[in-house]
Amino acid sequence: MSEQGVTPQSVDFSAWYNDIVVKADLVDNPERTPVRGCMIIKPYGYELWEAIRQGLDKRFKATGHQNAYFPLFIPMSFLQREAEHVEGFAPELAVVTHGGGKELEEPYVVRPTSETIIGDAMSRWIQSYRDLPLLLNQWANVVRWEKRTRPFLRTSEFLWQEGHTAHATYEDAQAETLRMLDIYAEFAIHEAAIPVIKGQKSEQEKFAGALASYTIEAMMGDGRALQAGTSHNLGQNFAKAFNIQYVDESNKLQYCWTTSWGVSTRMIGAIIMAHGDDKGLRLPPRLAPIQVVIVPIYRNDDEKSRVMPVVERLAAELQDAGLRLHVDRRENLSPGFKYNDWEMRGVPVRLEVGPRDVDNNKAALARRDILGKEGKQFVDQAGIVDTVRQLLEDIQASLLRQATEFRDGRLHEVVGDYDRFIDIIRGGEWALTWFSGDAEGEAKIKADAQAVSRCFPLEQPYAGESGPCIVTGQMTDRMAYFAKAY
């Protein structure tokens, strides 16, 4: 254990993660949560989710999407209309059979996803080509009954957004699917400081009922992959199941083409595991609930009377500039304890003010991404806003750079050597190889390395060329990443 009682990453990454989410005050201790497999998100963790939500929501609205809300309960018959869909979700469904003390005429499923109930509404709302495209988004909770859970990564109930759109043509639906994938990737890279790989899922790994599924894949601090967001071209499968039709410009009745796409509280898990260290969280400044924490330093009332007016003045300047700030006014706690506490919570910048700083018109700035003396500097109080703003931008860029270098050092291209391919995956790194995408080949790799394909990257390294599939040897024109995953 470290000084903070956290299991080091190098000893047990999973235990480290479980320690961090509790000690950083993101969730209540899962062992005390009254509903097994669910999580209680504490205010600090929920503020992080709100930052993610706000960042995505403004991007959705800027591209013409509107928020709506649909019922939590979905008639069982709705799911059964699309056979592949219900088969894919059957093991995870929570079903309500009684309500108001009486057995229901038809069971309700607690929302695992909303393609079916939104499809039913679309069938009423869409009549003509003039009604298209219909661009909807929903912020909601969903329930997928999980046997093995971990906060943010896999829980029986979680929070997310799910976009659902309807279009006149396949080309329009495909453009929407890829546009939303681009939005997810841009957000992950520029807001969460997580470098992601955009790609298409294999037939075996795609969303149940989709024509094609696309993903952003991120590498975590232990080398495992995390599916951080998905976007699906649903083709006309749900349109035909729910009779979503429109009259085209030639007065002919046509089925719509639909899409769905989503990001969940799993993004919080991605941020934790992509950036965290043995001291705790390291939050990207653009999403951090608190960007700057001020720690006043004094030993007696006389020093306090000199330090606190300066602290209040600096705090007001920073807050007026729109920075998210907190002043640690806790008494009877040493500065060292406070430093450790805020490092655990991942606050990007710590500003310290003591009597000597007051005398010299200085302040100490400590950056969370670089610990110790190397990450600490003494700056003039004058111009503190510009100094802190620049430091926050430097930290944001630093986290992305570190995560990118870590990822790129663990990506391996393997052609023709199956044993080396399996050894790389077993060793906790990623392998890019020619892959035909067939089910038997994927099953063999899963049996040999406990891993499946993460994606066929959209940016293929040898576009227009072909090579032998790592499993079957048959020629294929696409390469896929394989890795162990969460």
Predicted local distance difference test score (pLDDT) of residue 83: 77
Tell me the three state secondary structure of residue 284.
coil
Give 419-435 pLDDT, tens digit per residue. Answer: 999 999 999 999 999 99
Give 117-160 pLDDT, tens digit per residue. Answer: 999 999 999 999 999 999 999 999 999 998 889 999 999 999 99
Fold of 411-483: Translation Initiation Factor IF3 (3.30.110)
Predicted local distance difference test score (pLDDT) of residue 148: 87
Beta bridge partners of 455: 481
- Residue 232: phi and psi, rounded to 5, are -125, 130
* Residue corresponding to tokens 């030993």: 299
| DSSP calls for 72-88 | SEEEHHHHHTSHHHHHH
The residue type found at 198 is K
Question: Can you tell me the distance from the alpha carbon of 399 to that of 392, in angstroms, rounded to the nearest whole number?
Answer: 11
- CATH class for domain 13-275? alpha beta
| Strand ranges in 320-429 using DSSP code E only, listed in sequence order | 325-327, 349-353, 362-367, 376-380, 411-413
Predicted local distance difference test score (pLDDT) of residue 443: 97
326: pLDDT strictly greater than 60: yes
* Residue corresponding to tokens 């497999």: 37
224: pLDDT strictly greater than 70: yes
In contact, 153 and 486? CB cutoff 8 Å: yes
In contact, 211 and 261? CB cutoff 8 Å: no
Query: Could you tell me what percent of the chain has a pLDDT over 90?
Result: 94
Predicted local distance difference test score (pLDDT) of residue 340: 97
Residue 30 per-residue DSSP state = G
Domain residue extents for the chain: 13-275, 292-399, 411-483
Q: In this structure, what token pair is assigned to residue 320?
A: 């007026």
Q: In this structure, what token pair is assigned to residue 180?
A: 């939303």
In contact, 315 and 296? CB cutoff 8 Å: no
Burial of residue 475 (CB within 10 Å: 0-12, 13-18, 19+) is exposed
> Which of 427, 407, 410, 408 has the alpha carbon at shortest distance from 419?
427
The residue type found at 191 is E
4: pLDDT strictly greater than 80: no
Predicted local distance difference test score (pLDDT) of residue 445: 97
Predicted local distance difference test score (pLDDT) of residue 2: 55
Radius of gyration of the chain (CA): 25
Predicted local distance difference test score (pLDDT) of residue 3: 55
Who's near 450: CB < 8 A, 6+ residues apart?
426, 484
377: pLDDT strictly greater than 70: yes
Question: Can you tell me the distance from the alpha carbon of 129 to that of 158, in angstroms, rounded to the nearest whole number?
Answer: 36
Domain 292-399, CATH homologous superfamily name and number: Anticodon-binding domain (3.40.50.800)
Predicted local distance difference test score (pLDDT) of residue 87: 85
Fold matches, 13-275 and 411-483:
no
In contact, 298 and 304? CB cutoff 8 Å: yes
Q: In this structure, what token pair is assigned to residue 415?
A: 């052609």
| Helix residue ranges per DSSP H, 243-300 | 266-275
Give 76-123 pLDDT, tens digit per residue. Answer: 999 998 878 778 888 899 999 999 999 999 999 999 999 999 999 999
